[in-house]
Amino acid sequence: MRRALLALALVAGTAAAGVPRADLVLRGGRVYTVDAARSWATAVAVKDGRIVYVGDDRQAAARVGRGTRVVELEGRMVLPGFHDSHMHPVSGGLRLVRCQLGGATTAEQLAAAVRACAAATPGTGWLIGSGWDPRLPIPAALVTDRPAYLSTADGFTAWVNPVALALAGIDAKTPDPNGGEIERDKATGQPTGVLRNDAVSLVRRKIPPATGAEYREGFRRALAMANRFGITSLMDGAADSTLLEQYLAADRAGELTARVVASQRVDPARGLDQIPELIARRDRFQTARLRADAAKIFLDGELPAFTAALLEPYATKPDTSGKLNLEPPLLDALVQRLDAEGFQVHMHVIGDRAVRTALDAFAHAREVNGPRDRRHHLSHVELIDPADLPRFVQLGVTANVQPLLGLDASYLREVTPLLGPDRALRFIPVASLISSGATVVAGSDWPAPSMNPLEIIQAAITQRPVHLSEMIAAYTVTGAWLARSEGNTGSIEVGKAADLIVLDRNLFEVPPADLHRVRVLVTLLEGRPVYRDPGFTQL
């Protein structure tokens, strides 16, 4: 017995002969690797930011030497870092340093919040806020001495005051822009101040650009939030050159604490002419942690604004079925060209007609350009006609879902009557997509209600429903695959980057309704902590 104890002590002190010493060893945990076999382990060893061992505690001891940091997990769970496949961290982060209205649930609270924001930013400059609940009216008299722009959390709808309308030149004669709506008083025809979808850009382009300091501070806050939730990789759902510059600046300053794939926003009005610019930006904004090789097309709008493109008319507005921002001839040509140039096409589609049109465009590109590893994906897919479900597998198209809306009772109450009972049963069909064999990834669409992957996983398994293991895969290894980085991250395997998170308990032992209560204790990116819970002192 004494000899055995001495041997173990020698191993712990100097590492076994011929076995490289690790910089970090996590042991005594519940390590869910999310590898192909979905295997479990108790220990992980890391050296120079890479995983060098995954297995049991006994053999992990051979990696421990002088200078090795050993973390006793005491049964806590270890997962690969989360991959949020659809969010807006730079533009969303900017909202964190501006007026936030998300806490207002009554008209009185909203008015008080707007007055407080105006008082906090005195002067005659623009009053900019986000998080407005469009069911809460905003009287024009609330802000009269300066232009005001107050948007919903997703940015697709905004209220602007008469001063802002005048600056943008919007009056009763202004036509609705393609893909947008200027809400008008039914009696007078005058704009009410509510703008939807592409109509918001009529005013937004008049707002002075944010300063570099505002962008940097907002992005720092957004990245800190992402790391706190265990996110080590993300896909920006719509990035222009300004946002790409912010990513590059953060990377050069050593502040990019997540891997980023930026989907460059495609302007529907410019068609094929913009492709050389997209290529130039793709080539310029490429580093070890940043890529811009995805192209984002907004094909339709949203359900509450009646701008999501449906195969059949809205139940409460039978004279419309929404509209496409790009009709098939141009869309097909644009997707085919982007596909030929090697872009990963990322489309915003809400309605079932938009889904079908997008799938048709992918089918056209595949037929013209021939086989290749494409990894195109459709975001949101809130409504899919059953006939189109098998086409995701047939065409190799990924469904990029945001299940949290399934827990938003107010949103469900709003969209259910718009769709009618039959279509409402097919709303956000995560389970149907998975059952069909489609590749599914998940994201938050932050600054939509929550960035927390555990809240979103909870929404999927309680409301859709799907299995916990399927959603963990969607947020880890499959998300990494979509980002073309499955060889480097997404699962806990030897040779991959040590992008890891430690949770305070095992998700598989937590009641589904309590998943949002689970805390991330540590987030590691390439073995380095980018977030640490104040109460977890071992790292």
Does residue 522 surpass a pLDDT of 70? Answer: yes
- 408: Cβ contacts below 8 Å, ≥ 6 apart: 449
Please tell me the predicted confidence (pLDDT) of residue 15: 53
Mean pLDDT of 358-375: 97
Q: What is the Cα–Cα distance from 61 to 14, expressed in whole angstroms?
A: 10
- In tens, the pLDDT along 112-123 reads 999 998 888 888
- In tens, the pLDDT along 245-256 reads 999 999 999 999
How much is the pTM? 0.88
Question: Hey, what CATH topology would domain 89-204 get?
Answer: Diaminopimelate Epimerase; Chain A, domain 1 (3.10.310)
102 or 273, which is more confident: 273
Lowest mean pLDDT among 134-143, 286-295, 395-404, 506-515: 134-143
Q: Which CATH class is domain 214-488?
A: alpha beta
pLDDT-above-90 percentage for the chain: 79
Q: How far apart are the first and last CA of the chain?
A: 33
**Average predicted confidence (pLDDT) for the chain:** 92
Q: Give the pLDDT band of residue 6 (cuts 50, 70, 90).
A: very low
Mean pLDDT of 64-69: 95
Q: Give the pLDDT band of residue 2 (cuts 50, 70, 90).
A: very low
CA-closest candidate to residue 403, choices 459, 454, 350, 470: 459
Q: Exposed, middle or buried by CB within 10 Å (0-12, 13-18, 19+), for 141?
A: exposed
| DSSP 8-state code for residue 351 | S
Please tell me the predicted confidence (pLDDT) of residue 16: 57
Please tell me the predicted confidence (pLDDT) of residue 296: 98
Does residue 10 surpass a pLDDT of 60? Answer: no
Lowest mean pLDDT among 128-137, 166-175, 463-472: 128-137
Mean pLDDT of 475-503: 98
Does residue 406 surpass a pLDDT of 50? Answer: yes
Mean pLDDT of 62-78: 96
Q: What is the Cα–Cα distance from 66 to 190, expressed in whole angstroms?
A: 75
Contact between 275 and 245 under an 8 Å Cβ cutoff? The reply is: no
H-helix segments, 170-211: 200-204
Q: Length of the chain in residues, anyone?
A: 539
- In tens, the pLDDT along 438-477 reads 999 999 999 887 999 999 999 999 987 899 999 999 999 9
Contact between 388 and 359 under an 8 Å Cβ cutoff? The reply is: yes
CA-closest candidate to residue 241, choices 252, 253, 233, 249: 249
Q: Give the pLDDT band of residue 35 (cuts 50, 70, 90).
A: very high
Report the CATH number of the 1-81+490-539 domain.
Answer: 2.30.40.10
Please tell me the predicted confidence (pLDDT) of residue 19: 85
Show me where the domains of the chain are located: 1-81+490-539, 89-204, 214-488
Does residue 294 surpass a pLDDT of 50? Answer: yes
Please tell me the predicted confidence (pLDDT) of residue 13: 45
Contact between 236 and 262 under an 8 Å Cβ cutoff? The reply is: yes
Mean pLDDT of 348-369: 98
Contact between 386 and 426 under an 8 Å Cβ cutoff? The reply is: yes
Contact between 481 and 24 under an 8 Å Cβ cutoff? The reply is: no
137 or 88, which is more confident: 88
- 128: Cβ contacts below 8 Å, ≥ 6 apart: 98, 99, 148, 149, 150, 207
Lowest mean pLDDT among 1-10, 235-244, 402-411: 1-10
- In tens, the pLDDT along 140-154 reads 888 999 999 999 877
Please tell me the predicted confidence (pLDDT) of residue 405: 78
Query: Token pair of 414, please?
Result: 């709003």
Contact between 428 and 355 under an 8 Å Cβ cutoff? The reply is: no
Element (H, E) at 196: strand 191-197
Q: What is the Cα–Cα distance from 487 to 33, expressed in whole angstroms?
A: 14
Q: Give the pLDDT band of residue 211 (cuts 50, 70, 90).
A: confident
Q: What is the Cα–Cα distance from 441 to 477, expressed in whole angstroms?
A: 9
- In tens, the pLDDT along 184-195 reads 999 999 999 999
Mean pLDDT of 499-519: 97
Q: Give the pLDDT band of residue 3 (cuts 50, 70, 90).
A: very low
Please tell me the predicted confidence (pLDDT) of residue 12: 45
Q: ω before 371 within 30° of 0 (cis)? A: no
Q: What angle do CA 324, 186, 184 make, to 5 degrees?
A: 50
CA-closest candidate to residue 523, choices 221, 227, 85, 82: 227
